[in-house]
Amino acid sequence: MPLKTKEEYFDSIRQLNLPVYIMGERVANVDHPMIWPSINCVGVTYDLAQDPLYDDLATATSHITGKKINRFCHIHQSTEDLRKKIKLLRLMGQKTASCFQRCAGLDVMNSLNAITYEMDADLKTEYHQRFLNFLKIMQEDDLVCDAAMTDAKGDRSLPPSQQADPDMYLHVVKKEAKGIVVRGCKAHQTGATNSHWIAVVPTTTMKEADKDYAVAFVTPSNTKGITYVYGRQSCDTRKIEDGTIDVGNLNFGGQEAYIIFDNVFVPWENVLMCGETKYSGRLVEIFANYHRTSYGGCKVGVADVLIGAASLMTVYNGTAKASHVKDKLTEMVHLAETCHACALAAQSEGSRHSSGGYLVNGLLANVCKLNITRFPAEISRLTQDLAGAVIGTTPSEKDFEIPDDIGKLMKKYLKGVANVSWEDRVRCIRLIENITMGTGAVAFFTESIHGAGSPQAQKVMISRYSNVSMKEKLAKKIAGIPDGSNST
- pLDDT tens track, the chain, 488 positions: 579 999 999 999 999 999 999 999 999 777 899 999 999 999 999 999 999 999 999 999 999 999 999 999 999 999 999 999 999 999 999 999 999 999 999 999 999 999 999 999 999 999 999 999 999 999 999 999 999 999 999 999 999 999 999 999 999 999 999 999 999 999 999 989 999 999 999 999 999 999 999 999 999 999 999 999 999 988 888 999 988 999 999 899 999 999 999 999 999 999 999 999 999 999 999 999 999 999 999 999 999 999 999 999 999 999 999 999 999 999 999 999 999 999 999 999 999 999 999 999 999 999 999 999 999 999 999 999 999 999 999 999 999 999 989 999 999 999 999 999 999 999 999 999 999 998 887 878 788 888 878 888 899 999 999 999 999 999 999 999 998 776 54
pLDDT in the model for residue 487: 55
Q: Which of 118, 256, 285, 397 is catalytic?
A: 256
Nearest Cα to Cα of residue 201 among 156, 239, 167, 169: 169
**Ramachandran bin of 101, using left for φ above 0, alpha for ψ from -120 to 50, beta for the remaining angles:** left
pLDDT in the model for residue 395: 96
Residue 428 annotated among the catalytic residues of the structure: no
Residue 291 annotated among the catalytic residues of the structure: yes
Q: Which of 41, 73, 274, 298 is catalytic?
A: 298
pLDDT in the model for residue 1: 57
Q: Which of 41, 73, 103, 428 is catalytic?
A: 103
* Amino acid type, 158: L
Q: Which of 9, 41, 59, 99 is catalytic?
A: 99
With 0.85 as the threshold, say if the pTM is over it.
yes
Residue 73 annotated among the catalytic residues of the structure: no
Q: Which of 291, 314, 373, 397 is catalytic?
A: 291
Architecture of domain 283-467: Up-down Bundle (1.20)
Q: Which of 150, 190, 193, 436 is catalytic?
A: 190
All CATH 1.20.140.10 domain ranges in the chain, comma separated: 283-467
Residue 7 annotated among the catalytic residues of the structure: no
- Burial per residue of 80-93, b for 16 or more beta-carbon CB atoms within 10 angstroms, e otherwise: ebbbbbbbbbbbbb
Distance from the first to the final alpha carbon of the chain: 70
pLDDT in the model for residue 189: 92
Nearest Cα to Cα of residue 230 among 440, 444, 9, 26: 26
Q: Which of 228, 258, 295, 358 is catalytic?
A: 295
Residue 145 annotated among the catalytic residues of the structure: no
Residue 103 annotated among the catalytic residues of the structure: yes
Is 273 in a helix, a strand, or coil? strand
Q: What is the CA radius of gyration of the chain?
A: 24
pLDDT in the model for residue 61: 97
Write the DSSP assignment of 120-187 as a string of letters: HHHH--SHHHHHHHHHHHHHHHT--EEEE--B--SSTTS-GGG-SSGGGS-EEEEE-SSEEEEEEEEE
- Distance of alpha carbon 146 from alpha carbon 189, whole angstroms: 8
| Burial of 413: CB neighbours in 10 Å, binned 0-12, 13-18, 19+ | exposed
Nearest Cα to Cα of residue 149 among 112, 186, 110, 113: 186
Residue 295 annotated among the catalytic residues of the structure: yes
| Burial of 67: CB neighbours in 10 Å, binned 0-12, 13-18, 19+ | middle
- Cβ(324)–Cβ(251) under 8 Å? no
pLDDT in the model for residue 400: 96
pLDDT in the model for residue 440: 84
Q: What homologous superfamily is domain 6-276 in, according to CATH?
A: Butyryl-CoA Dehydrogenase, subunit A, domain 2 (2.40.110.10)
All CATH 2.40.110.10 domain ranges in the chain, comma separated: 6-276
- Distance of alpha carbon 37 from alpha carbon 242, whole angstroms: 15
Residue 99 annotated among the catalytic residues of the structure: yes
- Cβ(77)–Cβ(357) under 8 Å? yes
- Distance of alpha carbon 253 from alpha carbon 215, whole angstroms: 31
- Distance of alpha carbon 293 from alpha carbon 361, whole angstroms: 9
- Distance of alpha carbon 293 from alpha carbon 302, whole angstroms: 15
pLDDT in the model for residue 64: 95
